[in-house]
A and B are shown apart, each in its own frame.
Chain A
Amino acid sequence: MNKIMYLEFERCIGCRACQAACRECGDHDAKERNYVEHVDFMESRQTFPMMCMQCKDPACARVCPANAIQITEEGVVLSASEEKCIGCRNCTFGCPFGIPKFDFEQNKMYKCDMCYDRSKHDIAPMCASVCPSDAIRFIDFDEMQSLRRRRTQMNLVEGKKPTEQDKWKYVPEFFGVYSD
């Protein structure tokens, strides 16, 4: 699998189709594993999606005493295996992004597995498939890189130049950020 999940938070319109779609994935037990949140509804309607980062060396798996969180050969960090999960919730505390969810009734964690039944065939996960604003995309690694280059380029086209103090501004935003 040479595809990656690509998020552009500022494109999100808060419709939560990704969450509805997450429940539709065959292995998801009709429970969503992703998040859509308002940045601050009192101030604006801006929302953003959040989902598993599929870390290379995932904290959730590292802190799991039961070795319940498996990583596939493609690098997908799976949800806890039913038989192994002991319900200690270490993963929920360990994850720096607050991703793993906990089912208190069944005493087990569950999390995004990038719709492994789809993504292993290079078919987009449900959330990325339905996202009407392309805030969540399932794209080739090369396309991701060109998108990132394009963000920087657009800033340069608009006559802005990075300095040591604000160079970080030149990486993330393309969509929704225009000339001053």
Chain B
Amino acid sequence: MTEFIAKPGVKNLKHEGEKLITTHCSYCGMQCGMHIRVSEKTGKIKGVEPRYDWPVTLGKLCPKGVTAYQQIDHPDRIKRPLIKKKGRFVESSWEEALSLIEKKFTELQDKHGKDSLSVFGGVSMTNEKCYLVGKYARVALGTRFLDYNGRFCMSSAAGGFMKTFGMDRGSTLPWTELEHSDCFLIAGSNTAECHPTSIQMFWKARDKGAKMIVVDPRETPTARIADVHLDLLPGTDSALANGLLHLLIKEDFVDKEYVENRCNNFEELKASVEPFTPEYTSQLTGVDKNKIIKAARIYGSSPRSVVMFARGVEQQSKGVDNVTLYTSLALLRGQIGKFASGVATFTGQGNGQGGREHGQKSDLLPGYRKITDPEAVKYISGVWGIDPEEMPKAGVSAFEMFDEIHKGTIRAMHVVCSNPAVSAPDAEYVWEAFKKLDFLVVNDFFLSETAEFADVVLPTTTWAEDEGTTTNLEGRVIRIRKSIEPLHESKTDWQIFKEIAARLGKGKHFDYSSPREIFEEFRLATKGGKADYSGITYERIDKEDGVFWPCPSEDHPGTPTVFKETFATPNGKANLPAVSWQEPDETPSEEFPIRLTTGRVVFHYLSGNQTRRIDFLMEQCPVPFAEMHPELASRYNMQDGEKIRVTTPRSTMELEVRLTKATRNDIIFVPYHWGKELAVNKLTNAALDPTSRMPEFKVCAARIEKLEQKAGH
């Protein structure tokens, strides 16, 4: 198997005594191509080399990507299994750790039933592993309580796309086409910080004259150069999108033929957006009405446009509504299924796309099959070699699992590839839940805040110590290569599942010796499903620069652009929504007069468990801060750099003030990548979207106070 792939004529620097392993970054959904430098003699990781010929990212990396390799041989790696004894972690053997897990799991299930166990998955890992998480929970443990951290990340986009298109692929077009587009409408995405390597595409299109409309309460680097910056109040996306739809219809920008032939519900939509005049929209969103009109005209008159959004619109109690409304902008303009136009979400996690399709969600089975569909249960049971009767029923969403712990239904949890102690909203409630568990197992390679609550921590490998596939934010299935053998005593997640399954008497269902064997079974499991990977092979991925799903057979070319002729709904037409205005779950009050919104910085990834250990990244951004407009600060007599107290109905914390005029003057922004006393998720609201069960991270009501000066300081 070739480890190094480069196209003819591409020059890379190969240091003497080193080899290059071609792979992708461990972090976000861009999955930037990179080569990892490995010493031929010692097998040690030496660094990173740009992969200039990866067509999506062309060698570009963000600072997280450049330093990603530093996680691998990091001094903080967990070297051996840890068992908590008398409140302290003690290194132990795998035998001891696994025996304890076997004993506890069996005891709890004997006493409290199968569903007393639960699995909390994640999607920053390969398709092979994500697929196995679902199988592990349902076959090895036999529990219905299974869900994953995509509920905090992607589930509103998924829900919105399912509702509108009947299929959830994060992008309807390949991103290599973006530079040919004429207009981008980007909502709730701090693209420059969260998906930096996509900027090259926008800037290239910009060079050719493409227009840009950015919807964000803060003047992000993309908003700063936008033709129109719609600086809305956090939590008012549905009003803004309705206002834009109103104008598209009123000013006759609708592609009538497309809507007639390819959309359901147009009349209902038309009626529901009727009240959203520019004046009314402006009143709800706090955006100047002239800017709304200008945006609608630019978007409406662009021949090729792409609507894009991210967590800003999705992490709300109306996340699914927001997604369906923004998506409808593209539908009314007849943009979906065409060249250099369409709709896309910026997938947050590395394998946020692939990981959500294959049965880590409480109600899904591999291939995006519904667990409530008896045919799907029958098919997957066949692939797994179990009786369909044995298949557990649908469980509950990620955050609701913590409710189940508080209720005493869930007694034990196995957390894989996730750090909900930082990433879940209303964090103190989540911490209490972890304390309440009889038994907590965490797989991780660094001791995360969640792992600190654990009874057993199992050391896993980093992404570079195992092979497999991921699906990037375009829907392109790509290959992750193994750069080195697992370090210390760490094992891959799939080996851990295999060994626990064997101890629970389910070994025959997990008889794998390599990720490739899992992939072969996984292909079969997806066959015939909506997310069909059955025609994709490791060899094709190498040969074709990745393969886009759906790809139902080996002679099928894959599907870079989806919905060219028809949508995946029962009648083949897209469903337009009709959504009325609804306030966010929590609005400012006398006691909590300001809107608090949370987000990311370019130097950290998700809960920060990885990036907070990388020197360069920590030097740039060591602690969270409260970003606000000097006008707001002045009202409270606060200065730049001063410590303040931020309080919401749930909790309180101290933060340093960072002032800039590049934001609305009535909100504060805090990045969320830290744990414990630095966790802004102590303050966030756990109100869930009714469909996607995504919490409302993006808006809650807060109060800020100046801290008293201490004498002598």
Contact = CB atoms under 8 A, between A and B. Distances in A.
Question: Do A and B originate from a single complex?
Answer: yes
Interface of A: 10-11, 13-17, 19-21, 23-24, 26, 41-47, 117-118, 121-124, 126, 129-134, 174-176
B200 A133 contact: yes
Interface string B607-641: 00000000011001000000000100000000010
Nearest to B12: A123
B394 interface: no
A17 to B, nearest CB: 5
B660 A42 contact: yes
B710 to A, nearest CB: 27
A20 B61 CA distance: 10
Contacts of B259: none
B305 interface: no
Contacts of A46: 221, 224
B661 A21 contact: no
Nearest to A174: B207
Given A130-B66, A132-B61, A176-B225, A43 B192 contact: no
A42 B62 CA distance: 24
A129 B199 contact: no
Interface residues of B, number: 43
Interface string B687-707: 000000000000000000000
Given A17-B60, A132-B199, 7 more contacts: A17-B66, A20-B67, A23-B616, A42-B630, A44-B219, A45-B660, A122-B11
B660 A16 contact: no
B196 A17 contact: yes
9 contacts: A13-B193, A14-B192, A42-B661, A43-B661, A117-B13, A121-B13, A123-B13, A133-B192, A134-B200
Interface in B32-76: 47-48, 50, 52, 59-63, 65-67
A15 B60 contact: no
A43 B225 CA distance: 14
B203 interface: yes
A117 B47 CA distance: 15
Given A23-B616, A123-B13, A14 B48 contact: no
The 3 closest A-B pairs by CB, nearest first: A13-B192, A20-B63, A20-B66
Contacts of A44: 219, 224, 660-662
Contacts of A124: 50, 52
B626 to A, nearest CB: 15
Most buried by B among A16, A47, A131: A16
A21 B61 contact: yes
B59 A130 contact: yes
A43 B196 CA distance: 22
A105 B65 CA distance: 30
B660 A19 contact: no
B681 interface: no
B616 A132 contact: no
B203 A175 contact: yes
Given A16-B620, A20-B616, A45 B224 contact: yes
Contacts of A133: 192, 196, 199-200, 203
A16 B220 contact: no
- Tell me what chain A mostly uses at the interface: helix, strand, loop, or mixed: loop
B103 interface: no
B327 interface: no
A13 B197 CA distance: 10
A10 B221 CA distance: 10
B205 to A, nearest CB: 12
A133 B225 CA distance: 13
B226 to A, nearest CB: 11
Contacts of B52: 124, 129
B310 to A, nearest CB: 16
A175 B66 CA distance: 26
A130 B50 contact: yes
B661 A118 contact: no
B61 A130 contact: yes
A10 B52 CA distance: 23
Given A11-B203, A44-B224, A133-B203, A24 B48 contact: yes
Given A42-B660, A117-B13, A123-B13, A134 B67 contact: no
Contacts of A42: 630, 640, 659-661
A142 to B, nearest CB: 18
B625 to A, nearest CB: 12
Most buried by B among A121, A130, A132: A132
Contacts of B620: 16
A176 B66 CA distance: 27
Contacts of A132: 60-62, 196-200
A5 to B, nearest CB: 16
Most buried by A among B47, B48, B207, B603: B207
A13 to B, nearest CB: 4
B498 interface: no
Contacts of B204: 134
B108 interface: no
B435 interface: no
A41 B625 CA distance: 14
Contact of A13 (B15, B48, B221): B221
A17 B62 contact: yes
Contacts of A126: 50
B530 interface: no
Nearest to B30: A132
B203 to A, nearest CB: 6
B66 A13 contact: no
A175 B207 contact: yes
B196 A15 contact: yes
A15 B203 contact: no
Interface string B1-34: 0000000000111010000000000000000000
A17 B224 contact: no
